[in-house]
Chain A
Amino acid sequence: MTFIFRVLIFPGFTFILLFTMFCDWVERKIEARMQNRIGPTYTGPAGILQPFADFVKLLAKEDIIPSNTKSVVFRFAPILSFSIFVFALFFLPIDGSNVIPHSSFEGDLIFVLALISVANFFLFLSGWSSTNPYSAIGATRVLTQFLGYDIPLFIFALTSAFLANDLSISTIAASQNVPFVLLIPWAFALFIITLQAELEKDPFDVPHAETEIVAGYETEYSGRRLAFLKLAKDVQIVLGAVIVVELFLSGPYGPVFLGLPAFWYTLWFILKVLFVVMITEYLTCVFARLRIDQVLVINWRMLIPLSILSLVATVAVAFWLNPLVV
């Protein structure tokens, strides 16, 4: 019974879904305020229900499938991409322990990062199967970008794992008496930049550069499938922020006051994720979009050498930092 409750309601599916929509609203509000706009205001108090309203609206819209698509892939790619992102979130401690109890194992960091790659690959397939030139260009851009940025993302993630001396996410999070952001701030900063590319946000949002390739891989989608594609993107953003929180901001753990620890852990978790979302939104607002070749140059010439350098630096200082790690 607890198992079903945990998976379906809290901190599982329902919580993740609601939290994703809440984060989407926060993002839109921050972006709007930074651009001197108001942002959503109409649905619910301060427009907080707007992401939900958008989702419901898209669900109700006509679902058009172009006649010459490779239809099985086109139909299932958005759903699969969405469900894999949610599944990856199940391995991350949210209220102090994983969604599925005792599912954490040595090496689940690698597993989660691999799931992200697979889900990204489904986003690529969704564009590739659309047989629309704009979708095809957008899809190849997704592939080009995430193939490049997965490598530094892995290496930066391993920096934290090295410091915690463990490859399981919950152990890494639990071993941060002092959050790793204070011990290895360089890895944190670079991880956020890499994540920006992984999440396709400015200055790296080339896969759906609307003035160049319309909506990129989403171009041919409509109705339910578009709703799930959009939701998959939102979950991906939350997932990215959660991974930053787990690896660098000591996960959901923090001071516990009166009452259930689970309550306080969830609260810390939400606040930390919102903090990361704020940073990524800030970066999105202050940059213009780079060109795909410039994005790749930054990746191969800067981030990969820097990621190796950061790993080396961490190994070098690990001796002095180790007493601070549980």
Chain B
Amino acid sequence: MSYGSTIKVPLGPQHPALKEPGNFLFEVDGETVVDVKPRIGYNHRGVEKAFELRTYIQNIYLAERICGICSDAHTTCYTQAIEELLGVEAPPRARYIRVIIAELERIQSHALWVGIAAHEIGFDTLFMYVWRDRETVLDLFEMISGNRIHYAMNTIGGVRRDIHAAMVPKIKKGLDFLEKRLKYYLDVVQTEQTILKRAAGVGVLKPKDAVDLCALGPTLRASGINNDVRADDPYAAYDEVPFNVITHDGCDVSSRMLVRCEEMLESIKAIGYALDHMPEGVIRVRVPMKVPKGEVVSRVEAPRGELIHYAKSNGTTKPERYKVRSPTLGNIPALCKMLLGGYVADIPIVLAGIDPCFSCMDRMAFVDVKKNKGWNWTMQQLRRKYAKK
């Protein structure tokens, strides 16, 4: 393949298709994409350093703010890690509440994605409808936790708020309504011809490539690989709550839509089961401020895929090192593979197909690709290099 006649088309960091800053440089031959260079790091917030400066309790709120949409996944992952370091376990009722909140969050995140995907292919009517119905979940969150987005439900050793008996029928009523609507949307994305024309066979990621490039979550499951942390390494109460791992083997954007729509329906079933089988008892156990020495890796299936937190403690009230790997970062190599060979007009929908959350994923490391080495800089070194003279 020659690159003689190609032109370079940049996308982002400011572009209507990307709600968050990320940059992709496309080599385009006519209408076909022949090369993609992703550039990330526009929204580096120094989250990991901030973790080291705060106490374990303060860090719950910091973890919540890594992502706006999957805030619960981050706190679940964080509290799980610290609980393991402390050697305590959340009470059974708390574990069930964590499942309920996590699945509600999955519904609202996937619903948000379906709306954005519809918008990317110019189907604003579906976008408005899905987002209207998504409000149901947000209202349920408001009833349970008082907040629509940052629920602040998790704490080290359990959850902060109980789901009372009076809330259960309201949640079920909301979910019944949602189930009806979601079945309708599932029908729409399967049968509406203009959606199929834009989504079927677009952004293909073969199962082998998906595994080789470490794709995650719904993107991986849409390539026919059965992989879900909830099933493979159950946390919270996922070992007791039955649910199916949804896979589709279309390997394209259409499959990713189907996987997400069907996962929402699975989540509704799981929440129904969890509400019915919630054990009685306390919702949290008290834990000491100081965390014993050790290191731990915690995994959670966030709506976008597998989320990994790593914590290293040195026996004080603050972690010594904290590392967050959000699912979007894991999906970037697979995304580049999907975009190759596609049409320029398909770039937005393929990009949106992995449900990117660029702001959650940006971490900082210095890498010299040519010399193949990475290093860290201290604040003084950075200042010396980049401060204005």
| A residues lining the B interface (CB < 8 Å) | 34-37, 133, 202-203, 205-206, 209-212, 214, 285-294
Contacts and interface: CB of A to CB of B under 8 A. Distances in A.
Nearest to B348: A211
A133 B345 CA distance: 14
B16 A34 contact: no
A37 B132 CA distance: 9
Interface of A, secondary structure class, is loop
Contact of A287 (B194, B344, B348): B194
Nearest to B116: A211
B343 interface: yes
13 contacts: A36-B132, A203-B194, A211-B16, A211-B17, A212-B344, A212-B345, A286-B125, A288-B194, A290-B194, A291-B198, A291-B343, A291-B346, A293-B31
B15 interface: yes
Contacts of A37: 128
A292 to B, nearest CB: 6
Interface residues of B, number: 28
A285 B343 contact: no
Interface string B182-211: 000000000010110110000000000000
Interface string B108-137: 000000000011111111101100100000
Contact of A293 (B126, B132, B343, B348): B343
B interface, over-half SS: helix
Given A36-B132, A212-B345, A212-B348, A287 B17 contact: no
Contact of A214 (B15, B128, B198): B15
A214 B123 contact: no
A214 B15 CA distance: 7
B192 A288 contact: yes
Contacts of A292: 31, 345
A290 B124 contact: no
Which 4 interchain pairs have the tightest Cβ spacing? Answer: A289-B122, A288-B123, A288-B194, A35-B128
B344 to A, nearest CB: 8
B347 interface: yes
A81 to B, nearest CB: 23
A288 B369 CA distance: 42
Contacts of B121: 288-289
Contacts of A291: 197-198, 343, 345-346
Interface in B118-160: 118-126, 128-129, 132
Interface string B206-248: 0000000000000000000000000000000000000000000
A202 B123 CA distance: 8
Nearest to B352: A211
Interface in B1-50: 9, 15-17, 31
Given A35-B128, A35-B129, A288-B192, A209 B122 contact: yes
A302 B118 CA distance: 26
Contacts of A211: 16-17, 119-120, 122, 348
B126 to A, nearest CB: 8
B120 A36 contact: no
A287 B124 CA distance: 9
A210 B125 contact: no
Nearest to B17: A211
A34 B125 contact: yes
A241 to B, nearest CB: 21
Given A133-B9, A203-B194, 15 more contacts: A34-B125, A35-B124, A206-B345, A209-B345, A212-B17, A214-B16, A286-B125, A287-B194, A288-B121, A288-B197, A289-B194, A291-B197, A291-B198, A291-B345, A293-B31
B28 to A, nearest CB: 10
A210 B123 contact: no
A288 B118 contact: yes
A253 B207 CA distance: 63
Nearest to A35: B128
A287 B344 CA distance: 21
Interface string B164-189: 00000000000000000000000000
Contacts of A290: 194, 197-198
A35 B125 CA distance: 5
A206 B346 CA distance: 12
A135 to B, nearest CB: 14
Contacts of A202: 122-123
A211 B15 CA distance: 8
A36 B115 CA distance: 14
Contacts of A36: 128-129, 132
Given A36-B129, A37-B128, A289-B123, A210 B16 contact: yes
Contacts of B348: 211-212
Task: With a 10 A CB-CB cut-off, give which of B118, B125, B129, B343 has the most chain A CB atoms.
Answer: B125
Interface in B327-341: none
